[in-house]
Structure 1
């Protein structure tokens, strides 16, 4: 095993372990959510609680303890610089709105970049005890079972995930939905883009599109989809691109052309 492969294996192992550990902590807060103090960010629908912050603190502490030279980008605490070739990208609780409202569609999302390549993607869904794990060249797995996408499914015989937030106008979202329905497709939105990307990797959704997402919402899901045999639209990682939002699209191969046309990508 090469040195890089060994380093990747070690980080993947850490990502799996801390995703589950973070999920246990988040689930405790979820089960006692009536006691949470919920704050809003830029929009009343964009919320955060102490659960988000403590879960990110836990993940950061585990990374620093094992790989102190790695950089970290998290939704709640921003960027901490590093000297290695690795940058962790984490969303402590993706789907905070479902979380605080008692719905199970939220997850822990942990990714790592090696240079400019998405190298690791792990998503844990505490309410369902589902662990999605992937690393470049190693495949994608759900609770240990290898995921392989069916490249023949299209938007017309499967369901597509659609995301929306305050960065995108209601008219734009309505047009996306209209175009998808006109093309013979159907859609869901469950409040967690990371989780819906994991569902693409698992074949539960044929694709996922959101006009504006941040790296911490999509990096882990992108790795999962790619390693399961799917495709994803590139996310800008050079310069300060990693800290800004961008369009996110991932799909099984049979749905790529239709969804790229719908998204104008």
Structure 2
């Protein structure tokens, strides 16, 4: 895939479109939740619920993008990948946190990123992002070189954690993975003030960008789970890494520079400073 053609829109323009799409999709998701969630199927286990709302929200986003950006590619949780000709790809999780959504817990989000380059996390460069949490009434946005924002306030990751780092994480739905996830929690707790497990990686990453969390780590995330949140963190002055790429469940690590570095050391097995 070639890079974006001459005359491609500025990151801020793409960020504005991502924000509009996320708001509209978030309104639809919230409305469908109020009307009553229709459970459609299950994914890896019974706990990982796919709802009709997931599919409807993703279709809304795809339809809008076909109108606004017909030459762009698309990578979505529910409808898969479609290559474009522009060098840009939209990476979409229509409802991140579907279990929260199904249970009526408001910590769910619509996550939309636009990236350039090959539609693979190690080969793309983030351009713009929006994470809308309609149940919480929040929208986080970011664009390359323009920063990350919430309610007109520019976001910045935390840089000092004298009382220890407040960390976010998540666990896989497969019970066979729980022992390993809990073992990793035990390894990082010496640097932690406390731990939060909210059920939406996109919200967790937005919170890192906003300084509400100092860091984040989770195994087994898909590209649409972290694409938008990673852009927010980076535009807020933080860092995001994917580790153990050859493993069945690679690790995503994010945070301010210091916390990100310590998490990388711990996860990579260099615990000498603990």
Both proteins in one fold, TM over 0.5 = yes
Q: TM-score, normalised to structure 2's length? A: 0.87
Is 1:9 aligned with 2:12? Answer: yes
Are the equivalent residues in 1 in contact too, given 2:77–2:94 (CA < 8 A)? yes
Is 1:208 aligned with 2:207? Answer: no
Tell me which residue corresponds to 1:71: 73
Other structure's SS at 1:20 match: helix
Q: Distance in 2 between matches of 1:229 and 1:93?
A: 26
CA drift at 1:254: 2.4
Q: Where does 1:88-237 land on structure 2 (aligned, <5 Å)?
A: 88-115=90-117, 116-153=124-161, 156-166=163-173, 169-234=177-242
Q: Deviations over 1:34-73 (max 9, x none)?
A: x522421121121111100000000011111011010000
CA drift at 1:245: 6.1
Q: Distance in 2 between matches of 1:194 and 1:38?
A: 23
Count residues with an aligned counterpart: 257
CA drift at 1:104: 0.6
Q: Distance in 2 between matches of 1:158 and 1:173?
A: 18
Q: Deviations over 1:69-99 (max 9, x none)?
A: 1000000000112111101100000000000
CA drift at 1:125: 0.8
Mean Cα deviation higher: 175-184 or 141-150: 175-184
CA drift at 1:9: 2.8
| Runs (5+) with no aligned partner, structure 1 | none
CA drift at 1:107: 0.3
Q: Distance in 2 between matches of 1:158 and 1:235?
A: 20
Q: Distance in 2 between matches of 1:177 and 1:235?
A: 16
Q: TM-score, normalised to structure 1's length? A: 0.90
CA-based RMSD: 2.3
CA drift at 1:10: 2.6
Are the equivalent residues in 2 in contact too, given 1:39–1:48 (CA < 8 A)? yes
Q: Distance in 2 between matches of 1:235 and 1:67?
A: 33
Tell me which residue corresponds to 1:83: 85
CA drift at 1:253: 1.6
Are the equivalent residues in 2 in contact too, given 1:214–1:246 (CA < 8 A)? no
Residue 251 of structure 1: which of 255, 261, 266 is its match? 255
CA drift at 1:127: 1.4
Q: Deviations over 1:178-229 (max 9, x none)?
A: 1122334421111111110111001010111001100000010000000000
Q: Distance in 1 between matches of 2:198 and 2:192?
A: 21
Q: Deviations over 1:132-156 (max 9, x none)?
A: 00011110001221012231226x4
